[in-house]
Structure 1
């Protein structure tokens, strides 16, 4: 089957693509297994050499990559460049520097009760990793898990979103041009049926980024085969603005955090809570600032189009319900005025909202900012935590200690003080969610390690015939009681511990 791919912003045809035949899935897994057997045996330095070539290939084709991303998603070029390409090359550079240290065998301490033994952790690649990526950041959210998995020694099958398939083809081309061995990275193009078939193909690990609904389906199928997963799911991310915050910075932060990529960011600001004493000033400034945003496809536009047509229906539903329940629309167009198939949605600001509205509870994933006032810090924290999601949050205050204390009370996998979204772009930090924000984390050292089986190893020189805790147990109970009380009791008694241990050794030596 051949797809005709159109730009969501211009509706123009931007390419064609062949859907992957589901009958090829077994063949793809066989190719991946064969490539893995060689790749996993290479030194990390050799694997990193290939990944460095990919990074340089990206730099070489920077403008073309930005164009493919922008045409495929409708996002403006600056956002395609900074939030997608720049984040990816920085992450690859980080992996080049950190992979050897993150994945090397690590010696760890051995407790005194195992005197004479050594302990270490070995990181072994899992095998074939299935990466299922979304349409909102199709380059970044495909490339980073791919590169982490490859650095760890795995083979990868990528199933990019059928909404932005040309980005998947671009990724495949980049790795081919860099000389990656055949079968090591394969791209399968198709919809949810192909994705389901790939999951049933029994990969060794699944990395999924997307909706909570689809994530639960994948988790259910994976559980049947006990396939480990990493799920990066949705968000309903709160922004708390305290009375002492730099109000102009907070306004600009809300503006960018809520409307960048037309709000199609899982870490977008989706709820704003402002101290009552500065609430009206904040709202007035935000509405004024929103009027100056330029929307379109020009090089200097601020906001592009929506990417996925069906997402506009969710936005319309959330906003319409809020307005019907008494919310006030201070910026943007009423959904009743939208044209059929409209993909450019003007940024919307809502007030007089409450937690009985979907726009304050469910992921809207569009350019919508609902704002509420709060009277106390406790109320703000309670409102921020009143959600089934827990991906990201931000706190705005001049008192950094206060900001840290508030962050400590938020149930969130990521948090920022006096900024928005940026933790995902710091390759040294783990990235993952709490509650229905996701399961597991990647990025940082834990990201590469997560694509590995971690084997805990203890080594004994094998010189003694027996260990003191082996059979027979005759006469050992009281000695172990003395040992435990001496070593872990309220007042540690080293002499008592050593005496009990020596007696156990003597007893064992007489057996």
Structure 2
């Protein structure tokens, strides 16, 4: 029996051990999930939502305990656990409770005139077993939202949370148990890459993955062989564009939060700052001032917690060192050579004299680093922002609304915020997802429910006529069809000719 050790990354404290799921149990878990799906999918949407209502009640009652669990498992500060992980999760449940019935009910579709007498509908049918593989940076929200979306849509769910934050995975499992969900409708499997690979290869009906581009490509390759649909929420290298007419104090405060929240371990972090040259020095001084007053720690008054995963600390260190060796200037923070090797805390770093060929600009950093690059024109800012393999999120800072919308339209990105950063993901009415290497698919909003369903087209006829005009025999119908179509598709429909041709075809 293998155990996952739960270590508080901020303190190094060993909290507990969690039993890993045996890879040999994967087929049995799929069998249980498929059996549970048979009854769960047959419930009316309203009945499934009753379980979500109870889940929401449980989460509200245990909000403080959940926050403390997240803090222990990730090293983030309590306020961020509450505001950025728990609140969006509960809000998502409330959104689904309010809108799922309308989003999932069959709805009429228009029927073309040539199919006169028929009615058309679209219905939504649950797919089956949904596999959710979630990351460690927001271990509650990034597991919870796809899970509840899939469940509301009638699917059963298997969650494989990150082995880096198993305590939150266990917490999620307990929340669904306390909410009284039927057996095996939700199952949580604890383990690492080997377990995730086994579940991916186990032929689920849908895979929702949030994580690295590298792992996402592996999952997509495996899924493609079985034609398993996927949603991939991957990395980002989000540009933060500041024009000279922006409210610089607001932009500076926004930049510091967007770059350093959750110690920069956010796929939507502002990882590339592009600042118009005429205000570059002023902006630099403002962000340095805002950065230097930040408090690192673990209590409720701290602004920035620790890093969560030791491997990520090594990546951040390597990227910062490479930038400094290539001529970057350290404006704030500590040189990597002087970092405490025993600590998971990284003091926020600001870099200038940064060039586009540096890894710190090209590769996802996922740490508290702010590289700042000047630009001279609007066109240059757009080119620099789009010069990336990623396209998840971007932000534009200007008081010229026309410029803001113009620039936003040209950015290759799944989302753009104007005089704001990151927050689009908190709006459950908006689709969320990336372009380029930032992923495939969208969730939240209507897409977030309907993507977990087969979209079924239904055409209905009353069945009273013995014949349709397009049925056999074809003898003698070509000229009549020609006249019918020419009259219908003419620049101005010739209704008299159309109706005569249609009646003749009905009488064939």
Q: Which TM-score tier does this pair reach, normalised by the shorter chain?
A: over 0.9
> Which residue of structure 1 lines up, in the alignment, with residue 78 of structure 2?
77
CA contact (8 A) 1:242 1:274 kept: yes
> Which residue of structure 1 lines up, in the alignment, with residue 456 of structure 2?
455
Q: Aligned partners of 1:351 and 1:487: how far apart in 2?
A: 65
CA contact (8 A) 1:309 1:341 kept: no
1:188-227 equivalent positions in 2, closer than 5 A: 188-227=189-228
CA contact (8 A) 1:238 1:270 kept: yes
> Which residue of structure 1 lines up, in the alignment, with residue 105 of structure 2?
104
Q: More displaced, 482-491 or 48-57?
A: 482-491
Q: Are the structure 2 counterparts of residues 248 and 459 from structure 1 closer, same or farther at C-alpha, using a change threshold of 3 Å?
A: same
Q: Aligned partners of 2:241 and 2:490: how far apart in 1?
A: 46
1:61-460 equivalent positions in 2, closer than 5 A: 61-460=62-461
CA contact (8 A) 2:4 2:166 kept: no
Deviations 1:180-228 (A, max 9, x none): 1110100000100000000111111100000000000000001111111
> Which residue of structure 2 lines up, in the alignment, with residue 498 of structure 1?
499
Q: More displaced, 376-385 or 158-167?
A: 376-385
Q: Aligned partners of 2:48 and 2:37: how far apart in 1?
A: 12
Deviations 1:338-357 (A, max 9, x none): 23243100111111112111
CA contact (8 A) 1:200 1:221 kept: yes
Q: Aligned partners of 1:220 and 1:162: how far apart in 2?
A: 22
Q: Aligned partners of 1:499 and 1:428: how far apart in 2?
A: 48
Q: More displaced, 348-357 or 472-481?
A: 472-481
Deviations 1:279-300 (A, max 9, x none): 1111111111110000111220
CA contact (8 A) 2:4 2:191 kept: no
Q: State the superposition RMSD in angstroms.
A: 1.2
Give the TM-score taking structure 2 as reference length. Answer: 0.98
Cα offset, 1:504, TM superposition: 2.8
Q: More displaced, 245-254 or 467-476?
A: 467-476
Cα offset, 1:451, TM superposition: 0.8
SS of equivalent residue, structure 1 residue 415 = strand
SS of equivalent residue, structure 1 residue 279 = helix
Number of equivalenced pairs? 507
Give the TM-score taking structure 1 as reference length. Answer: 0.97
Q: Aligned partners of 1:166 and 1:298: how far apart in 2?
A: 19
CA contact (8 A) 1:40 1:125 kept: yes
Q: Aligned partners of 2:482 and 2:354: how far apart in 1?
A: 63
Deviations 1:412-453 (A, max 9, x none): 111111100011111111111111111111111110111111
Q: Aligned partners of 1:221 and 1:450: how far apart in 2?
A: 20
Q: More displaced, 214-223 or 27-36?
A: 27-36
CA contact (8 A) 1:250 1:418 kept: yes
Q: Aligned partners of 1:244 and 1:64: how far apart in 2?
A: 44
Deviations 1:103-145 (A, max 9, x none): 0011111111111111111011111100000000000001111
Cα offset, 1:479, TM superposition: 3.4
CA contact (8 A) 2:7 2:14 kept: yes
Q: Aligned partners of 2:244 and 2:404: how far apart in 1?
A: 12
Q: Aligned partners of 2:347 and 2:254: how far apart in 1?
A: 18
Q: Aligned partners of 1:272 and 1:487: how far apart in 2?
A: 56
CA contact (8 A) 2:242 2:276 kept: yes
SS of equivalent residue, structure 1 residue 294 = coil
Cα offset, 1:65, TM superposition: 0.4
Deviations 1:478-506 (A, max 9, x none): 4333433433344443334334333333x
SS of equivalent residue, structure 1 residue 393 = strand
Q: Aligned partners of 1:247 and 1:447: how far apart in 2?
A: 36
Q: More displaced, 292-301 or 252-261?
A: 292-301
SS of equivalent residue, structure 1 residue 350 = strand
CA contact (8 A) 2:36 2:156 kept: yes
> Which residue of structure 2 lines up, in the alignment, with residue 42 of structure 1?
43
Cα offset, 1:464, TM superposition: 2.4
Q: Aligned partners of 2:287 and 2:476: how far apart in 1?
A: 77
CA contact (8 A) 2:4 2:163 kept: no
Cα offset, 1:475, TM superposition: 3.3
Q: Structure 1 residue 57 and structure 2 residue 58: aligned?
A: yes
Q: Aligned partners of 1:327 and 1:173: how far apart in 2?
A: 48
Q: Aligned partners of 1:430 and 1:155: how far apart in 2?
A: 23
Q: Aligned partners of 1:412 and 1:492: how far apart in 2?
A: 43
> Which residue of structure 2 lines up, in the alignment, with residue 3 of structure 1?
4
Structure 1 unmatched runs, 5+: none
Q: More displaced, 139-148 or 317-326?
A: 317-326
Deviations 1:252-280 (A, max 9, x none): 01000000000000001011111111111
Q: Aligned partners of 1:226 and 1:484: how far apart in 2?
A: 39
SS of equivalent residue, structure 2 residue 415 = coil
Deviations 1:372-405 (A, max 9, x none): 1111111111111111111000111112222111
SS of equivalent residue, structure 1 residue 373 = strand
